[in-house]
Structure 1
Amino acid sequence: MIHLLLAIIYLAFISLGLPDAVLGAAWPSIYPQFGVPVSYMGVVSMIIAFGTVVSSLQSDRLIRALGTGKVTAISVGMTAAALFGFSISSAFWQLCLWAVPYGLGAGSVDAALNNYVALHYKSRHMSWLHCMWGIGAASGPAIMGWVLTGGQSWQNGYRIVSLLQAALTVLLLLTLPLWKRPAAAQDAAGSAPLTLRQVVHIPGAKEIMICFFCYSAVEQTTGLWASSYLTLCRGVSAETAASFASLFYLGITAGRAVCGFLTLKFSDARMIRMGLGFIAAGVLALALPGPQWLALAGFVLVGLGCAPIYPSIIHSTPEHFGAARSQAMIGVQMASAYVGTCLMPPLFGLIANHISAALLPVWLLALLGLMTWMHEQLNRRAVPHTA
């Protein structure tokens, strides 16, 4: 039963990743149709991220009331409905409206599943769990690219992704009894939830929050703007760029599959440092002038670098802060990540709109520097816990 539950959690993470990069892949086709500036993609992503911040901060309360299984099923169902709403939208304001349930559907389930795996499974399972997210994230833009290159509309691409999400929702509903046995006790266990103020004052909390902010900003900005960067700065057609942008998420996915084995030899801290180095190499490849393949290689390297960072930081949370604090800490970490998602891609959108999208490597390098510094500060300040 426990192994079957882990398989269900993997599928849930595929559903989390599936729609994440679709907006970026479709946007070169969306904004001319709706007559809005290219930077308006940041508005939609900001609304989605705001919803995830709200639901992430409420995750502990929701899970105690409903249980992890029901929260997961409801969240995936909300996402499916929102994606179908995207597929029938005929104006920009309608995208903004459907972005609300899209965002609310993601936060609680993300925090709940990450904490459950961090507490009950080895680091390799955390890497493979997020590898499943990468499969979903890589599949989304690949589906959209296939639809666009086939001469169909971007609305059809969203409709296909919505149907896949709906199928996963049905599967989660059918398997709800699996969650009651191993997970119910975890849902109800632990001391009273910590307030946000209490969490922030834990040694190392500020550093890990900034780490997540920067990581999410790097990942989301790269994922959302890869297609536009290739189109505007490297001369790649919009249809081809939608497919090529999936290389970034393929890099994350392949990297996490390999990282699951590397965690048998390397600690979480060393895995994170390794990832930071790969991101630096990828940003350098993006910054250098040259043929299109160099930019494509850069996106793959950035994806490979992102691969170990998120799961390794999550998995190390109980060790840094203790099992009793881990759900509260991970909820706040998720919220910090979503704030980065909410603020930073739209800010880069303004830069791309008013200055140049060619500044993407500079933007990523600045975030990478801050993330590296905060990670080293975290390792010095956080107090290790064994329980």
Structure 2
Amino acid sequence: MADAGALRRTSGTYGLYAALACLGYLLTALGAILPELREERGLPRGEVALYPSAFALGLMVVGIVGHRAAERLGRFALPSALVALVGGAGIMAVGGGRAGAGIGALVLGLGGAGLVQLVPAGLRVLHGGDGTVPIGEANAVASTASVLSPLLIGAALAQGLGWRAAFAVPPLALAAVLLLTRRAVAPMSAEAVPDAAGERVPRGFVSRWLDLVLAVGVEFCMVFWAADFLRSVKDLGSGAATTFSAAFVLGMAAGRAVSAPMVRAAGRPDRLLAVAALIGVTGFTVLWTAPAPFAVAGLLVVGLGVALLYPVILGQALAAWPSQPVRAAARCALASGVAIGVAPLVLGTLADLTTLRAAVLVAPFLLFVLLIRCGWRLRTGSGL
């Protein structure tokens, strides 16, 4: 792993961090507005969960063909992804009816997937190694930005201003600055783009890909349903539930802010992942069983536990396929798309069939599966 002390951050590094911050803001914002969309349009939870699924469809499309699009677009790949991301947010904010919001979520997903593909690969080119430390920092910046969206949307709702301006304007402003200053560029080595004909996907990559599906599934079950859980199960008001749902992403931001020393101290990645999963399960127990004030604290602890899962697993996945970093990053975006498309939708559908209190148990179940996989690798010494 790259030594965090030797990491030299350039203006290009910070540009990539800021681009990912736009995505972090909008992902949490999408979760924050789901209760409002459900109430506005009288939708069941299973149907409102289709908006995250439309976003996930964009991720899956880019996950399959994104490496070829990156090759053709070259230096314009990341600016194009950023424009699609904030353009999708604008469509969701101003588009009328279910179709407008669905199309906006799909375009947002296409842009977000482009950033998920290009930013980690660009950071690995800039800084070398497996990229775990700069990828962790990038996700810490994204998590910090994601804290702002439920706070701003909650404040807008409390003031009777609605969710739309707080949803779309901040990421649009940041994206405009990045594009105008030409900071939205992801470097790629010449040999990283072309496919190696007939090259098989490494088994180690496949194993980490499955871990990524589990980790992202947990993260977005909480991102998309925490506000509704606090509102419907813990009986907080609309504005308060949206605001306090920021506890999850606040925990994630705090956890990712200390990712570099945690990665160095843990030694083996699976040891760190197992500890993180256990912390997440502990926090979820408090969230599920405790009354509102303590439940919010539990949500914070869940965020702390989940924080390191994605950057550590992503770094390991990219390192497992070093000859094809752009293709590997695209396949990792596909993993995110599968997770976001399936896990929150399953949770929402189960909530309609049973209760949201019961359905949210999907999240700790995924953590337990990940914990078992990490324990197996630690016991056997296997990377699979």
TM-score (norm 2): 0.89
Q: Report what 2:3 is aligned to.
A: none
Q: Report what 1:145 is aligned to.
A: 154
1:116 CA displacement: 2.7
Q: Report what 1:233 is aligned to.
A: 233
Q: Report what 1:40 is aligned to.
A: 47
The Cα RMSD (Å) is: 2.4
Aligned length: 371
Structure-2 change in CA distance of 1:150 and 1:58 (3 Å): same
Q: Residues 23 and 142 of structure 2 are in contact (CA less than 8 Å); yes or no, is this contact kept in structure 1?
A: yes
In 2, Cα distance between the equivalents of 1:24 and 1:165? 15
> What SS is found at the alignment partner of 1:153?
coil
1:33 CA displacement: 1.7
Q: Deviations over 1:169-204 (max 9, x none)?
A: 333333448848xx25x1x213742589932xx223
In 1, Cα distance between the equivalents of 2:50 and 2:292? 29
1:123 CA displacement: 3.3
Q: Report what 1:349 is aligned to.
A: 348
Q: Residues 205 and 382 of structure 1 are in contact (CA less than 8 Å); yes or no, is this contact kept in structure 2?
A: no
TM-score (norm 1): 0.88
The answer to whether the aligner puts 1:365 opposite 2:364 as a matched pair is yes
Q: Report what 1:308 is aligned to.
A: 308
Q: Report what 1:104 is aligned to.
A: 110
In 1, Cα distance between the equivalents of 2:221 and 2:184? 37
Match of 1:70 among 71, 76, 84: 76
Q: Residues 212 and 334 of structure 1 are in contact (CA less than 8 Å); yes or no, is this contact kept in structure 2?
A: no
Q: Report what 1:279 is aligned to.
A: 280
In 1, Cα distance between the equivalents of 2:344 and 2:18? 27
> What SS is found at the alignment partner of 1:229?
helix
The answer to whether the aligner puts 1:50 opposite 2:66 as a matched pair is no
Alignment of 1:1-387 (within 5 A): 3-67=10-74, 69-118=75-124, 120-121=127-128, 123-158=132-167, 162-176=168-182, 179=185, 183-184=187-188, 186=189, 188-190=190-192, 192-193=194-195, 198-199=200-201, 202-267=202-267, 268-288=269-289, 290-319=290-319, 321-376=320-375, 380-382=381-383
Q: Residues 141 and 245 of structure 1 are in contact (CA less than 8 Å); yes or no, is this contact kept in structure 2?
A: yes
Amino acid of the structure 1 residue aligned with 2:287: L
Structure-2 change in CA distance of 1:381 and 1:87 (3 Å): same
Structure-2 change in CA distance of 1:194 and 1:271 (3 Å): farther
Unaligned regions of 5+ residues in structure 2, if any? 1-7
> What SS is found at the alignment partner of 2:203?
coil
Structure-2 change in CA distance of 1:315 and 1:112 (3 Å): same
Structure-2 change in CA distance of 1:178 and 1:104 (3 Å): closer
Q: Residues 59 and 112 of structure 1 are in contact (CA less than 8 Å); yes or no, is this contact kept in structure 2?
A: no
In 1, Cα distance between the equivalents of 2:198 and 2:51? 27
Structure-2 change in CA distance of 1:179 and 1:357 (3 Å): closer
1:360 CA displacement: 4.2
Q: Residues 251 and 307 of structure 1 are in contact (CA less than 8 Å); yes or no, is this contact kept in structure 2?
A: yes
1:2 CA displacement: 6.2
Q: Identity across aligned pairs (percent)?
A: 19
1:374 CA displacement: 3.1
In 2, Cα distance between the equivalents of 1:134 and 1:196? 38
Q: Residues 124 and 260 of structure 1 are in contact (CA less than 8 Å); yes or no, is this contact kept in structure 2?
A: yes
In 2, Cα distance between the equivalents of 1:53 and 1:375? 26
Q: Deviations over 1:206-246 (max 9, x none)?
A: 32222111111100011111111111111111111000011
In 2, Cα distance between the equivalents of 1:91 and 1:269? 45
Q: Residues 55 and 106 of structure 1 are in contact (CA less than 8 Å); yes or no, is this contact kept in structure 2?
A: no
In 1, Cα distance between the equivalents of 2:97 and 2:321? 48
Q: Residues 57 and 109 of structure 2 are in contact (CA less than 8 Å); yes or no, is this contact kept in structure 1?
A: yes
Structure-2 change in CA distance of 1:259 and 1:2 (3 Å): closer
Structure-2 change in CA distance of 1:179 and 1:79 (3 Å): closer
